[in-house]
Amino acid sequence: MTSPILVTGGTGNLGHLVVPRLVDAGHDVRVLSRHSRESSEGIEFMTGDLATGDRIDAAVEGSEIIVHLAGSSKGDEEKARHLVRAASRAGVRHLVYISVVGADRIPLGYFRSKLGAEREVADSGLPWTALRATQFHDLMSMAAQQMARLPVVPVPAGFRFQPVDAGEVAARLVELALGPPAGLVPDLAGPRVYGMAAMVRGYLQARRKHRPIVPVWVPGKAARAFRAGANLAPERAVGRRTWEDFLAASVSSPKDSAPALVADRSISA
């Protein structure tokens, strides 16, 4: 009997795609959650808090592979530190971490937190693998949905995104977890780069909504990094599912056709 694979963040948007793939691959999975949940076939839920380190040792014990997906807008480095210490005590042989493209280039709290967690993993002394991915379609859809509630939609001028399918990221993470430790692996990015205005316009078209879109100049170092494409990985456009595909499947009703949206590879929004 093989040891269970521990997944942190296993109930989140990415985790709920990773966990069943690991089970389908024939592995028992242990999911770390802050709240008590009933276990199911092949999946054991264990309660613990990465922010405080509470019960993390018990969750890690007996696992040789950890897939660390838990994250938030801040504090990721501290959570990674607690996990790394418990993993070191337990003799874990492979720690896999999901990060974000631009973690080392965008001076913004979320990205800095991801970079800090990366460094905790890399400096842990444990065999490790880290994957950086671009923003998920789901995240971009939520942002567009919030913007579309306004009568006039402001979008940051010059911002571009390269959205990637969360399922494709999940599949890659499973492949990495079941393979040998590889350090920082090549980024995973979506197949096309879009201006933010084009993405919002496509969302509005899919929803049969009409809103004026107004580019807004955003000052600051982080905004300059976004305008320079620090969140992009055009040389790693290996994802297959486009923003149009996502909208057609997840936003449009059965009567809707996929909106006409042209990938924007220019600097302007």
Q: What's the rounded Cα separation, in Å, for the pair 196 and 12? A: 25
- Please report the pLDDT score of residue 264 as a whole number: 37
Judge whether 164 and 239 are in contact, CB under 8 Å. Answer: yes
Question: What strands, in cross-sheet order, belong to the sheet with 183-184?
Answer: 43-47, 29-33, 5-8, 65-68, 94-100, 128-133, 183-184
How do the domains of the chain map onto residue ranges? Answer: 5-134+166-184
Low-confidence ranges of the chain (pLDDT < 50): 252-269
At residue 34, the pLDDT reads: 86
Q: What is the pLDDT of residue 143?
A: 95
CATH fold, domain 5-134+166-184, is Rossmann fold (3.40.50)
pLDDT the model gives residue 268: 29
pLDDT at res. 51: 94
Q: Please give the pLDDT value at position 233.
A: 98
Q: Tokens 């990938």 belong to which residue?
A: 263
236: which DSSP letter? Answer: G
Distance CA 131, CA 175 (A): 11
Strand partners, 8: 32, 68
Q: Cβ contacts of residue 4 below 8 Å, gap of 6+?
A: 27, 28, 29, 30, 44, 62, 63
What are the angstrom distances between the C-alpha of 239 and each of 51, 112, 134, 137, 245?
A: 32, 25, 10, 11, 12
pTM of the predicted structure, to 2 decimals: 0.91
Could you give the count of Cα atoms lying within 13 Å of 150 in the half-sphere of its Cβ?
A: 12
